[in-house]
Structure 1
């Protein structure tokens, strides 16, 4: 089982995780709505993409849907994409129309995908406006949520590969 490494320093969170799949499969799982929705939310939650335009300047509007059908909306704006290498952008809490909720932190992220033989190492560097904002998202359960979502991604990638 792959271990997720979290490093929080000041207002920056770095997350590293290696997946047992080729970079093209891991990249697709992060950049195609149909696949992203299959793993992004920790069970029993689900991710539901309302719209996604994966290009520089494009956005993904999505909801995290809980077991009682409660919805927490988010919007991701993509600012830089280098195919199968990295993508960066901003992620924010929003309403179902994509209006950003100023009560919650905005994350500026850079996701890197490095091919390591038959595996792919994903490094996520996320910067918040302040150390307090980073603490706020950690207290909201982001670490456990991401760890569990990565377990879902492991399952998806294992099922996608030829046996």
Structure 2
């Protein structure tokens, strides 16, 4: 089955729009984006891996994680949950952080993830608005699209195991 992956960088609005289909029901896809034990299994593009240091999925909560390289170098990010409508949408503020979960630099993005259930497919719509054009351009030219696609492919593989174990 061919699953839709659409990625558009709109410089005029400083926004990246992503549409991605997953061959799983809404409950599984929602859990894959909101539970640390599942995120850690797919989010990082291989050969990198993800290590959640803190996850508090509620409005006002946060997800603090490290992308870990094959050489065990860690790059930290902080996601603050702004609005959550269960099994529908959640919005976040994303920043890079230090090893203690403190935001570093002034660059950030505001992200809205919306999930739509279909018969056999769940569609994810992502709207990622950057604070400035330079940040969007840096992300777009440093492998963000490719890394996102690889992470989603990891999730496709994981969802196959979760669906068969359901």
Matches of 1:139 and 1:93 in 2, distance apart? 17
Question: Are 2:9 and 2:140, in contact at CA under 8 Å, matched by a contact in 1?
Answer: no
Q: Report SS of the residue matched to 1:138.
A: helix
- TM-score, normalization by structure 2: 0.94
Matches of 2:158 and 2:89 in 1, distance apart? 21
The equivalent residue for 1:149 is 151
Matches of 1:64 and 1:137 in 2, distance apart? 15
CA displacement at 1:39 relative to structure 2: 0.5
CA displacement at 1:154 relative to structure 2: 0.2
CA displacement at 1:131 relative to structure 2: 1.8
- TM-score, normalization by structure 1: 0.96
Structure 1 stretches of 4+ moved >6 Å: none
Q: Report SS of the residue matched to 1:162.
A: helix
| Aligned residue-pair number | 162
The equivalent residue for 1:110 is 112
Matches of 2:49 and 2:37 in 1, distance apart? 12
The yes-or-no answer on 1:31 pairing with 2:12 is no
The equivalent residue for 1:51 is 54
Aligned Cα root-mean-square deviation (Å): 1.1
CA displacement at 1:119 relative to structure 2: 0.8
Q: Which runs of 5+ in 1 are unaligned?
A: none
The yes-or-no answer on 1:129 pairing with 2:113 is no
Q: Report SS of the residue matched to 1:114.
A: strand
The equivalent residue for 2:74 is 71
Q: Report SS of the residue matched to 2:29.
A: helix
The equivalent residue for 2:161 is 159
